[in-house]
Amino acid sequence: MSRVAAIDCGTNSIRLLIADTVNGHLRDVHREMRIVRLGQGVDATGEFAGDALARTRTALLDYARLCRDLGAERLRMVATSAARDVANRDVFFAMTADVLSAVAPGAVAEVISGAEEAQLSFRGAVNELDSAGAPFVVVDLGGGSTEIVLGGADGVRASYSADIGCVRLTERCLHSDPPTSAELASARRVVREWLSAALRTVPVEEARTWVGVAGTMTTLAALAQNMTTYDSAAIHLSRVGDTELQAVCDRLIGMKRAQRAALGPMHAGRADVIGAGAIIVQELAHELRQRAGITELTVSEHDILDGIALSIAGV
């Protein structure tokens, strides 16, 4: 048994998993998520904002202390969409190296490609699923990018990563509160364009099971279950039928941000962008229904974070 620490720094959130690896499986010791909005304004400016870097540093300092106090033996930090193309990425690297050096000398955030992000997300998402449900199409809907991955017990067969997520889509198209019909139409056009390209690469027609991961998907599952508070155990591997999924998405898209924030399972840092996430989910659901006859979404709490932890353990 070994104790590992995985950190996933995305466009909207930064997450930590400290876990023991036992016989090729993970046993959680500590799992945490914070909304830091590292990708604030990146789509427009091409740079990290100072406030966003400061918020990320504060969270990372706490994560580093937890890694030390809980005895993590190995650590890997991965940064995804927001950190790929920014002009001031060296500032981000220097900050992460400074913070992580207290726990793991020489450690620094790795900026991984969309292809590796897809591989790690797929591995984390399907690790506990029955192989009888394969092929799986895993959708990792993040703040800055969305990965669509097809695969089975033999691993990933095809994947596509697009620089469109709930934060980018909100900043690009959804400026009113609630969004206007013209803004919603614009957002749907953007999503359909990238989906058209993605589905030329990923043959989702082969899929039998749709698995959704990350905060938009898990929040939709919580709302579909009419939760008053977020319950990760009840959300993990829950299923949402197409009719119910469409209804929840429609409801969120039409709400004002304050109304979304008042929903029991809604994280405060997600309320302003989940409408865009709901649009992406609706467009995905339509394509999967038409192309593969899939009418149900399986939601997993395990995702790229678990894939990172498994990669450290060499499992």
- Given a cut of 70, whether residue 298 has pLDDT beyond it is yes
Give a yes or no: residue 70 inside a domain. yes
Same domain for 151 and 102: no
Residue 289: both structure tokens together: 């229904």
Residue 203: predicted pLDDT: 97
Give a yes or no: residue 120 inside a domain. no
**Contact of 105 with 43, CB cutoff 8 Å:** no
Going by pLDDT thresholds of 50, 70 and 90, the confidence category of residue 280 is very high
Residue 315: predicted pLDDT: 58
Same domain for 146 and 191: yes
Going by pLDDT thresholds of 50, 70 and 90, the confidence category of residue 105 is confident
Going by pLDDT thresholds of 50, 70 and 90, the confidence category of residue 94 is very high
User: 18: number of CA atoms within 13 Å, CB side?
Assistant: 15
Same domain for 283 and 193: yes
Range of the domain at 208: 129-300
Mean pLDDT of the chain: 92
Give a yes or no: residue 204 inside a domain. yes
Which of 111, 141, 157 is the C-terminal boundary of a domain?
A: 111
Each residue's pLDDT tens digit, 173-206? 999 999 999 999 999 999 999 999 999 999 999 9
Give a yes or no: residue 63 inside a domain. yes
Which of 111, 137, 153 is the C-terminal boundary of a domain?
A: 111
Tell me the C-alpha distance between 303 and 15, whole Å: 11
Please indicate whether residue 285 or residue 35 has the higher confidence score (pLDDT): 285
Distances (CA, A) of 144 to 3, 23, 83, 114, 165: 30, 34, 10, 11, 4
Residue 244: predicted pLDDT: 97
Residue 106: predicted pLDDT: 83
Residue 111: predicted pLDDT: 87
Same domain for 134 and 43: no
Same domain for 136 and 100: no
Average pLDDT over residues 263-271: 91
Alpha helices in 152-273 (DSSP H): 166-173, 181-201, 215-224, 232-235, 242-254, 257-261
Each residue's pLDDT tens digit, 223-252? 999 999 999 999 999 999 999 999 999 999
Same domain for 242 and 133: yes
Same domain for 179 and 273: yes
Residue 183: predicted pLDDT: 98
**Contact of 78 with 67, CB cutoff 8 Å:** no
Give a yes or no: residue 308 inside a domain. no
- Please state which of the ranges 23-27, 124-128, 170-174, 260-264 shows the lowest mean pLDDT: 23-27
Same domain for 164 and 107: no
Each residue's pLDDT tens digit, 56-66? 999 999 999 99
Residue 199: both structure tokens together: 């589905």
Give a yes or no: residue 230 inside a domain. yes
Give a yes or no: residue 315 inside a domain. no
Residue 10: both structure tokens together: 């995305």
Same domain for 261 and 154: yes
pTM over 0.75: yes
Same domain for 64 and 140: no
Please indicate whether residue 205 or residue 121 has the higher confidence score (pLDDT): 205
Residue 82: predicted pLDDT: 67
Give a yes or no: residue 183 inside a domain. yes
> Residue 80's domain is classified under what CATH number?
3.30.420.40
> Residue 238's domain is classified under what CATH number?
3.30.420.150
Same domain for 248 and 134: yes
Residue 144: predicted pLDDT: 83
Q: What long-range pairs does 66-72 form, CB within 8 A, spacing at least 24?
A: 66/16, 66/18, 66/30, 66/32, 67/5, 67/16, 67/18, 67/103, 67/104, 68/102, 68/103, 70/3, 70/18, 70/29, 70/30, 71/3, 72/3, 72/4, 72/5, 72/18, 72/103
Residue 224: predicted pLDDT: 97
Please name the residue that has the structure tokens 């790929």. 84
Residue 103: predicted pLDDT: 86
Residue 1: predicted pLDDT: 73
- Total domains in the fold of the chain: 2
